[in-house]
């Protein structure tokens, strides 16, 4: 059935070395699987890190190259014999992981912590979505409403990250929130906090253009962190800008930068909550005395879990979050490395890559 070049894919062989090559045409091995034709793939910070460094913990190699891509939208191409929720031609957003469904985390409803998770574009063996055809279980594909384009469907994945963080923080109406970082996830975290009823949403960044975008997109106010700032000065200035508050209820930290983590703990009110979304250095210093004396709740945040994609789809269908504004560039499949480089240069907000057209 397969013929040469029926399923072109982008393989990463090492830092700065990617090739478009033929990959195996997918087959349905479970009656609840579907074969998808990829429409768009989004570029995120982890893709850039792989492009620049060959991976994060596990690295790609010439012996084990990796098909890149995890943020994706697609059209259903064919379906397994037991698929009931989808049909060929349906347009979907993809939740790009396969949990085992049997381990303790999976059975406890936190399948994002599954130790046997097969997540797209995770070396050494789990290939990603930057190819023409891709298989997924039907229940990890989410039908897009008629009002939403396939380009917007790519951004359901980072929106689900923001939803997961807001649910971990238990953001409520009339709470005050600080979001560190105005990249895609930071912007979406601000939007979700606002949609969940937050009274104030302050976006913090070192890029004034991104802060201007954040103010227009979701933030009620912004804070520019100039060079030479300390964690103490950032926290004091944000609180000074909001002198009616003793501190903020929630911090959504999307940078992974040590100084931002530090400032986030310091800007919180006693009993506040900090959710660590961004990843930076493996080990950081932070003010443990402030964390303890204020009884701060600090939680890690890893991808998304049960109900997060459904909540993301609800926010989109209800019009509470608009993803279209975030898309600032679209590259052809053959221009994939240009897309990675543009993101590395922090050009625009979100760059997409079209799936193969032939």
Q: Which tens digit of pLDDT belongs to each residue from 311-336? A: 999 999 999 999 999 999 999 999 99
Per-residue pLDDT, 125 = 82
CB-side neighbour CA atoms (13 Å) of 226: 3
The topology (CATH level 3) of 161-300 is: Rossmann fold (3.40.50)
CA distance 136 to 97: 8
For the chain, which ranges sit under pLDDT 50? Answer: 1-3
pLDDT at position 5 is 53
161-300 and 8-155+323-354 share a CATH fold: no
3-state class (DSSP) for residue 112: helix
pLDDT number for residue 216: 96
How does pLDDT run across 194-215, given as a tens digit for each residue? 999 999 999 999 999 999 999 9
Parallel, antiparallel or unpaired: strands 268-276 and 248-253: parallel
The distance from CA 315 to its chain's CA centroid, rounded to whole angstroms, is 16
Residue 6 DSSP label: S
* Gap between the Cα atoms of 288 and 298, Å rounded: 11
Structure tokens at 107: 């059975």
Q: 252, 299 in Cβ contact below 8 A?
A: no
Give 246-312 as a 3 state SS string.
CCEEEEEECCCCHHHHHHHHHHEEEEEEEEECCCCCCCCCCCHHHHHHCCCEEEECCCCCCCHHHHH
Q: ∠96-27-136 over CA atoms, to 5°? A: 20
* Contact indicator for 294, 270 with CB cutoff of 8 Å: yes
Q: How is the chain split into domains, by residue range?
A: 8-155+323-354, 161-300
State in words which class domain 8-155+323-354 has.
alpha beta
Location of structure tokens 């949609």: 195
Cα(47)–Cα(145) distance, integer angstroms: 28
DSSP 104: H
Round the CA-based radius of gyration of the chain to a whole number and report it: 21
Two tokens at 324?
């279209």
Distance CA 185, CA 56 (A): 19
């Amino acid at each position: 059935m397969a013929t040469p070049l029926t399923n072109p894919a982008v393989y990463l062989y090492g830092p700065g070395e990617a090739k478009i090559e033929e990959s195996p045409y997918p087959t349905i091995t479970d009656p609840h699987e579907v074969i998808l034709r990829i429409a768009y793939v989004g570029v995120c910070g982890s893709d850039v890190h792989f492009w620049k460094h060959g991976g994060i913990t596990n690295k790609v190699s010439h012996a084990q190259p990796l098909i890149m891509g995890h943020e994706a939208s697609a059209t259903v191409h064919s379906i397994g014999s037991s698929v009931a929720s989808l049909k060929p031609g349906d347009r979907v957003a993809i939740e790009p992981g396969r949990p085992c469904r049997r381990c303790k985390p999976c059975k406890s409803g936190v399948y994002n912590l599954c130790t046997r998770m097969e997540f797209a574009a995770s070396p050494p063996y789990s290939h990603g979505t930057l190819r023409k055809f891709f298989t997924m279980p039907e229940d990890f594909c989410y039908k897009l409403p008629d009002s939403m384009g396939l380009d917007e469907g790519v951004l359901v994945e980072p929106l689900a990250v923001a939803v997961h963080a807001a649910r971990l923080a238990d953001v409520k109406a009339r709470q005050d929130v600080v979001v560190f970082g105005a990249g895609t996830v930071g912007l979406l975290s601000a939007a979700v906090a606002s949609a969940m009823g937050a009274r104030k949403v302050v976006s913090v960044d070192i890029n004034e253009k991104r802060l201007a975008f954040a103010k227009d997109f979701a933030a009620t106010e912004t804070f520019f962190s100039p060079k030479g700032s300390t964690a103490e000065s950032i926290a004091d200035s944000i609180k000074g800008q909001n002198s009616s508050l003793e501190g903020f209820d929630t911090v959504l930290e999307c940078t992974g930068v040590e100084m931002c983590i530090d400032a986030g703990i310091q800007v919180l009110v006693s009993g506040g909550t900090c959710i660590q979304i961004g990843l930076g250095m493996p080990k950081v210093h932070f003010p443990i005395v402030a964390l303890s004396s204020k009884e701060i709740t600090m939680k890690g945040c890893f991808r998304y879990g049960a109900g997060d994609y459904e909540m993301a789809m609800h926010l989109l269908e209800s019009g509470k979050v608009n993803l279209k504004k975030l898309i600032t560039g679209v590259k052809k499949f053959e221009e994939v490395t240009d897309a990675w480089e543009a993101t590395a240069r922090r050009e625009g907000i979100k760059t997409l890559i079209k799936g193969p057209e032939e």
